[in-house]
Chains A and B, each alone.
Chain A
C-alpha cells in the first residue's frame, strides 16, 4: 500500500511533468481507440454487407465452389427443398437461423435489341420474400437497410427484376428507369419504350418467355432479353422486365448484374428440366453462431449422406479477408509507432524522476530497502503513469466517439454501393478498449524498467553523496 501511496504522491509531486506524460499516453490511447473503433466499424460493415448479400453460410453441391461455374447444372443441388426443410427443422440449427433460401446464379447475354445492344450478364435468382428478410439483418445496428430501395423482385411475378446501374447504362435503360447520374449511350439508335417490340423469335424460346412477351404491351417496365444456355447446352431466351436498378459496389458486377426471381433463373438455366438450386444460403441471427452452425450442418449432411459442402461469407467474399488483413496491418503499424512514443516518453520521465531523487534512493537503501524494492518503486510509478494516461485516454476517446457519431458524417464503405453513416463503433468494443488500456499500461511499466534498474544499481554512498 505504501508503495502505491509513495508512487502516487511522487507522480503528483511534479504535477506538470506527470500531466504531460499522462497526456502523451492519453493521446496515444485516443488515437488507437478511435482508429480501432473505426476499423471495427468498417469490419462489421463489411461483414454486414457480406451477410446481407450471401448469408453467413452457403451450401453448394460438392465441387461447385471450385468447378461449378463452368457447368452449373452438373453441380446444382437437385432436391434442394428437402435439404432446406432438413436444415430448417433441425432442432440444433433452428434457434440460430434467420433465413434459409435457395439461389440460382448463371451467366448469359442480356440484350436490348431496340437499340441493338447486348452485354454479358451475371444473373442471380432469389426468393424475393427471403431476400427481403435477409436485407433486414442488422446485428451490429448499422442501419444499412435504411439505404435500400425496393428489392424490385417479387415472389409472384417471375419475369420482373432489377439490373445493375452499369448494366442499365450499357443497355441504354437509364432514361426509362430514371436513374440519376447515368448517361445515355452516345448515339442511340432507338429509344427504349415501355411497349417495345416483342423479343426476336429465337428457337427454344421458353414458355415463360412467351407468356412474358405477351404481357409486354401492358407492362410499364422496360424489357430486355436474356439469353442463357440450358444444362444441355441449348440456347434459352426469356424476356425480362426491369423494375429498377440495384447499384452494386463493384463496377464489374454493377455492369453485369441481373437480379431476378429464382423461377426465371431456373427456367434459363435448366429449361424444361428439373429445377434445381445452385446454392442454399443460410443467414443466422448472430454471427457468433457461425462456426457452430457450420459444424452442425456438416454433421447433418454427413448423417444424411448429402454430397454438399459449406462455405462461410469469408470464403464467398475474398476481399473481406484481404481488407480485414490490410486494416489490421495498418492498425498494428500505428499501434507500434504509438507504443514506441509512449515507451520513450515514459523512459524520459522516469529517468528524470530518478535523477531528481538520487538522494532519496540512497536514503531508502541505507534504511534497508533492497535493490528490488527501489526497482519496484519506479516501475510502479511507470505503471501508474501508464494507467492514469490510458484511463484518461479511454474516457476521452469514448466521449470523442459519441461526439463524432453525432456529427452525421457519411461515407461509402468497401463493397457497398450507397453512402452509410461513418461511425466509430462504440458497442461491442470492450475487448479493444481493454486491450489498448492494458497494452499501453504494460508498455509504460516496461519502459520504467531501464531507469528503475539504474536507480536500483546505484551505490548507496554515491547516492547519498549526491546533492
Chain B
C-alpha cells in the first residue's frame, strides 16, 4: 500500500533534550540531526541510557525537545498545541511497546479496532479493516480473546496489528522483542518487516537485539545522547 507522503518521514535538526533531575540538568540528547526516508525500516541502537527511548518519544510526538527542530511526516510538531499534536498522533504515528500495552478490558479485536475509533472511521470499514489486520498477523481465530488469554508473541502480534491498522506514516517500536524469547522475537521482527513492506510504512525501532540488526535498512547508533554512527543495513 503506497503512502501519500513522499519526503523524509522524520527530519531532526540539532535536537537537544535536557531533563531537570532534582535541580541537576541532565542532557539526554545532544544535538541529534538525521533524516529517515519514508517507507524505511530503521533501527536505533545504543547502550542502555544512551537516549534511544527519548529519541523515539520525540519522534513519536509524546515528548517535546528542549531545542532543535523535529519534523514528522512533513509537520513541524513543535508548533502544534496539545490537541492538535494528539490528533496528529492519532492519524500518523503508531507505537509498539516492549510490554505490549494492550488494553486488558478489550478483546484482541477491540484492541485493534481502537485506533480506528479514534480517527472516526465508519463501522463497516472499521470492521473489515480490523478483521483483515488480525488475519494478516495470524490471529483471526483469537479475535475474541482478551490479552490475558494470549501468549506473549500473540500479544505482540495484536500490538502490531493495532499499530498498523490505521495505516500510519510511522510506526515506533521501543525494544519490541525484549519480552519475547529469541524464536518468537525473530518471528515478530519478520512479521513487522513483512507488513512494513506491504504497507510501505516507515518503521523505527530501538533494540539491543543483534538478530534485529540484519533486518534494518538504516541503523543509527547513539551514545551519551549523540549520534555516533549512521549506516545502511543489510535488510534493504
Contacts and interface: CB of A to CB of B under 8 A. Distances in A.
- The answer to whether A binds B is yes
A365 B106 contact: no
B114 A460 contact: no
Interface stretch (B85-93, B137-145, B200-208, B228-236): B85-93
Interface string A386-398: 0000000000000
A367 B114 contact: yes
B103 interface: yes
A464 B90 contact: no
A191 B44 CA distance: 116
A429 interface: no
A309 interface: no
B119 interface: yes
Interface stretch (B33-41, B56-64, B177-185, B212-220): B56-64
A461 interface: yes
Contacts of A9: 105-106
B48 to A, nearest CB: 14
Contacts of A367: 89-90, 94-95, 114-115, 118
Nearest to B62: A460
B101 interface: yes
A360 B87 contact: no
Contacts of A6: 103, 105-106
Interface string A440-467: 0000000000000000000111001001
Interface stretch (A250-258, A328-336, A368-376): A368-376
Contacts of A368: 86-87, 89-91, 93, 115, 118-119
A2 interface: yes
A360 B63 contact: no
B97 A363 contact: yes
A8 to B, nearest CB: 9
A2 B117 contact: yes
A363 B95 CA distance: 9
B105 A464 contact: no
A359 interface: yes
Contacts, number: 65
Pick the most buried of A365, A366, A369, A460: most chain B CB atoms within 10 A of its CB.
Answer: A366
B111 to A, nearest CB: 10
Given A368-B87, A370-B83, A464 B62 contact: yes
B93 to A, nearest CB: 8
Interface in A344-395: 359-360, 362-372
A206 interface: no
Interface class of chain A by DSSP: helix
B82 interface: yes
A39 B114 CA distance: 50
B7 interface: no
Contacts of A370: 82-83, 86-87
- Interface size bracket, A side: 20 to 34
A6 B118 CA distance: 14
A461 B57 contact: yes
B104 interface: yes
A15 to B, nearest CB: 12
Contacts of B57: 461
Interface string B45-62: 000000000000100101
Contacts of B82: 370-371
Contacts of B119: 368
A226 to B, nearest CB: 82
B86 A369 contact: yes
B95 A366 contact: yes
A23 interface: no
Pick the most buried of A6, A10, A360, A367: most chain B CB atoms within 10 A of its CB.
Answer: A367
A13 B104 contact: yes
A10 B103 CA distance: 10
A386 to B, nearest CB: 20
A366 B89 contact: yes
Nearest to A367: B115
Contacts of B97: 363, 464
Cβ-closest 7 pairs across A and B: A368-B90, A9-B105, A460-B62, A363-B101, A368-B89, A368-B118, A461-B63
Interface of A: 2, 6, 9-10, 13, 359-360, 362-372, 459-461, 464, 467
Interface of B: 57, 60, 62-63, 82-83, 86-87, 89-91, 93-95, 97, 99, 101, 103-106, 110, 114-115, 117-119
Given A365-B62, A367-B115, A368-B90, 16 more contacts: A2-B114, A6-B103, A6-B106, A9-B105, A13-B105, A360-B103, A360-B104, A363-B101, A365-B86, A367-B89, A368-B89, A368-B91, A368-B118, A368-B119, A369-B118, A460-B63
12 contacts: A13-B104, A359-B99, A360-B103, A363-B95, A365-B86, A367-B90, A367-B95, A367-B114, A368-B93, A369-B118, A370-B87, A464-B101
